[in-house]
Structure 1
Amino acid sequence: MYIKNRRNRSKGPAWIGKVEFSKSGGTAYFNDKVFKHFGKGHYGDIETGDSYWISGIKKNGKDRHVFGKGKIQIDKLIVNEYLQLVDFV
């Protein structure tokens, strides 16, 4: 999944990693954080209140918004899986 902190709009820190969801889908878990689902990819960190975007990855590898900047960190445990899913052509 693609996870981005929306604090600085399109320029917030971003990750590619494994996200687990509750059975109802109302809660997501990533990197020891718990997120409450607010609808259509929008989540909130229940501890800090920060707003996040969580979505599937794009096959072309361009997960950042067109105006977004910064590196996307990829969890080292899923690099091989990610590379098999993405077509950088």
Structure 2
Amino acid sequence: MPERLMFVQLKSGHDIDRGPSWIGWVRFSRTWNTAYFRGRTLRRAGGLFDANFHDTDTGERFWLSGPKRDRTDTRYGPTRPEVEPDAADAYRAFLAGAALPGRATG
């Protein structure tokens, strides 16, 4: 399964960009339509306001994207994402200019 370092934010139950967020490893299905993060199965969904995936068990909505070097992942959020311990080294390297793992360019 492909795995990428991603920004993940919970959108359900929170004002725009106020939900908890993480930088961590996300595994994807072969078709990239299903993502696996923190024991959750997230399915790609169109037509959702401010979200691009939903939890298949709870229906909660999430935004997944590649992290940004300027750390503006949450447009209006007051806090930075929590960096998962197993992703910290790769994230620091990315912030320092390295390409994201699994991508040709950063």
Greater share of helix residues, 1 or 2? 1
Q: Which TM-score applies when normalising by structure 1? A: 0.88
2:81 is aligned, of 38, 52, 72, to 72
Q: After the TM superposition, which residues 7-86 of structure 1 pair with which residues of structure 2 at under 5 Å, given as runs?
A: 7=12, 8=14, 9-39=16-46, 42-65=52-75, 67-86=76-95
Give a deviation string over 1:23-67, Cα, whole Å, max 9, x none: 0111000010000101496000111100000000001122111x2
Deviation of 1:70 after TM superposition, in Å, equals: 2.7
TM, length-normalised to structure 2: 0.75
Identity percentage over the alignment? 28
In the alignment, is residue 2 of structure 1 matched against residue 11 of structure 2?
no
Distance 1:32 1:25 in 2: 17
Alpha-carbon distance change, 71 to 58 in structure 1, aligned in 2, over 3 angstroms: closer
Q: Runs of 4 or more off by more than 4 Å in structure 1? A: none
Structure 1's unaligned 5+ residue stretches are none
Supply the RMSD in Å over aligned alpha carbons.
1.9
Question: Aligned pairs, how many?
Answer: 87
Q: C-alpha distance in 1, partners of 2:73/2:39?
A: 22
Secondary structure of 2:54's aligned partner:
strand
